Structure 1
Amino acid sequence: MFFVFFTAMLLLVAFIVMGLWNALLPAVLGVKKITFIQALDILLLSKILFGGFRRDSSERGRQWKIKFQEKLGSVTPEEKEKFQSEWKNRCGGR
């Protein structure tokens, strides 16, 4: 079931990329229209360039969380309050 869902989502995203490319870029930049296969190639290229092919992204998240908690462990209560108030001001007090 996962394979079917993954394949369907991949095809849908490729059709969206192809549609957006063909609707916008030829008029704006004067480039040629692309085919469905070329849209899949663009998705693969963007995954390689921007996403990589790391297997365990949850491990990176855990490492980030551990490092963040270590940094927070050395923060005094006054510094923590100052940090929170600065972010409240930046985010409009939400």
Structure 2
Amino acid sequence: MKQIFYKGRFIFIPIAVAAFLSIISYVVMQLWNCLLPDVLHVTTITFWQAMGIFILCKILFGFGKGGGWRGGRGGGAPWMRNKMEERFKSMTPEQKEKFKQKMRDRTACGPWGSGGFDRDWDKFDTEEPKKETE
């Protein structure tokens, strides 16, 4: 029974993806053709143009759930979140506070952009705080 299901996935998944892409492209085409010609005075589009617009938007604006890497809470890869949660649980309260402060310092935007990241961002427990020079 498992072999039948395993072999069936190779047939079912591409068909499901093609069906989903077709439905989304049809919806994009209908929304475009019903709204935009009257509002923005653009021409109507075909099904294939709608599919291209959808794929282009996915390439430019991302796949998956919203949030992205700068999107705030819940963004990022699940494996990275789990890794950071495990690391955070094993820290002492002093290490947690140092880590939080270091992340605040790095994400704070000054007059010249972001604080920047160096390669050893996870070595916060061995670093001494940097002293500002005037």
- TM-score class, shorter: 0.5 to 0.7
Structure-2 change in CA distance of 1:25 and 1:68 (3 Å): farther
TM-score, structure 2 as length reference? 0.44
Larger relative contact order (CA 8 Å, sep ≥ 6)? 1
Deviating 4+ runs (over 6 angstroms):
none
Q: What corresponds to 1:16 in structure 2? A: 27
Which of 34, 37, 57 is residue 48 of structure 2 equivalent to? 37
Q: What corresponds to 2:102 in structure 1? A: none
The CA deviation string for residues 30-63 of structure 1, in whole angstroms up to 9 with x for no partner, is 11111111001101111210116xxxxxx92210
Shift of 1:68: 4.8
Q: What corresponds to 1:2 in structure 2? A: 13
TM-score, structure 1 as length reference? 0.61
Shift of 1:70: 4.4
Counterpart residue type for residue 78 of structure 2: G
Which of 81, 90, 93 is residue 64 of structure 1 equivalent to? 81
Q: Which has the larger radius of gyration?
A: 2
Matched residue pairs, number? 69
| Matched-pair identity in % | 36
Gaps of 5+ in 2: 1-11, 64-75, 98-134
Which is helix-richer, 1 or 2? 1
Gaps of 5+ in 1: 53-58, 76-94
- How far apart are the structure 2 equivalents of 1:10 and 1:64? 30
